[in-house]
Structure 1
Amino acid sequence: MDYAVLREDMVDGLELSLGPLDETVGLALRTVPRHEFVADAPYENRTGEHRDTRTTILSPSTATRLVSALSPDPDDSVLVVGAGVGYTAALVAEIVGDANVHAVDITRKLVYEARSNLQKAGYGGVLVDCRDGADGLPEYAPFDRILVEASAIRPPRHLLDQLADDGRLVMPMGVGDQSLVAFEDDEVVETFGPISFKPLLVDGEQTGSIVRNRTKREDPEYEGRGWHAGTGWEQEWIDWGAR
Structure 2
Amino acid sequence: MDPVVLRDDMVDSLEHEAKAVVGSERVSVAMRTVPREPFVDEDAAAYADRSFERLGTRVLSPSAAGRLFEALDVRPDDSVLVVGVGVGYTAAVLAELTDEANVHAVDIARRLVYEARSNLDSAGYGGVLVDCRDGARGLPEYAPYDRILLEAAAIEPPRALLDQLAPGGRLVMPLGGAAQELVAIEGGERIEYGTVAYHPMLVDGEQVDTIERNRTYREDREHARRAAERRKGWEQTWIDWDRV
- Does the TM-score normalized on the shorter chain lie above 0.5? yes
Shift of 1:14: 1.1
In structure 2, give the amino acid aligned to 1:208: D
Question: Which residue of 2 is the match for residue 159 of structure 1?
Answer: 161
Looking at structure 1, the residues matched to 70 and 115 of structure 2 have their Cα atoms a distance apart, in angstroms, of 25
Looking at structure 2, the residues matched to 208 and 114 of structure 1 have their Cα atoms a distance apart, in angstroms, of 15
Question: How many residues end up aligned between the 2 structures?
Answer: 213
Looking at structure 1, the residues matched to 31 and 25 of structure 2 have their Cα atoms a distance apart, in angstroms, of 10
Kept in 2: contact 1:152–1:200 (CA 8 A): yes
Query: Aligned pair 1:147/2:149, yes or no?
Result: yes
Alignment of 1:57-136 (within 5 A): 57-136=59-138
Query: Aligned pair 1:184/2:182, yes or no?
Result: no
Query: Aligned pair 1:5/2:5, yes or no?
Result: yes
In structure 2, give the amino acid aligned to 1:18: K
In structure 2, give the amino acid aligned to 1:46: R
Shift of 1:214: 4.8
- Taking structure 2 as the reference length, the TM-score comes to 0.85
2:215 to 192, 201, 211: 211
Question: Which residue of 2 is the match for residue 229 of structure 1?
Answer: none
In structure 2, give the amino acid aligned to 1:126: V
1:36 to 23, 35, 38: 38
Give structure 1 stretches of 5+ with no counterpart. Answer: 217-243
Looking at structure 2, the residues matched to 111 and 18 of structure 1 have their Cα atoms a distance apart, in angstroms, of 31
Shift of 1:195: 0.4
Deviations 1:7-57 (A, max 9, x none): 01101111123325200000011000111111221100001101xx32111
Looking at structure 2, the residues matched to 76 and 113 of structure 1 have their Cα atoms a distance apart, in angstroms, of 25
Looking at structure 2, the residues matched to 144 and 12 of structure 1 have their Cα atoms a distance apart, in angstroms, of 29
CA RMSD, 1 decimal: 1.4
Deviations 1:50-101 (A, max 9, x none): 1xx3211100100010011000001000000000000000010001010000
- Taking structure 1 as the reference length, the TM-score comes to 0.85
Query: Aligned pair 1:49/2:50, yes or no?
Result: no
Kept in 2: contact 1:70–1:168 (CA 8 A): yes
Shift of 1:215: 9.6
Looking at structure 2, the residues matched to 156 and 119 of structure 1 have their Cα atoms a distance apart, in angstroms, of 30
Looking at structure 1, the residues matched to 153 and 47 of structure 2 have their Cα atoms a distance apart, in angstroms, of 25
Looking at structure 1, the residues matched to 138 and 188 of structure 2 have their Cα atoms a distance apart, in angstroms, of 16
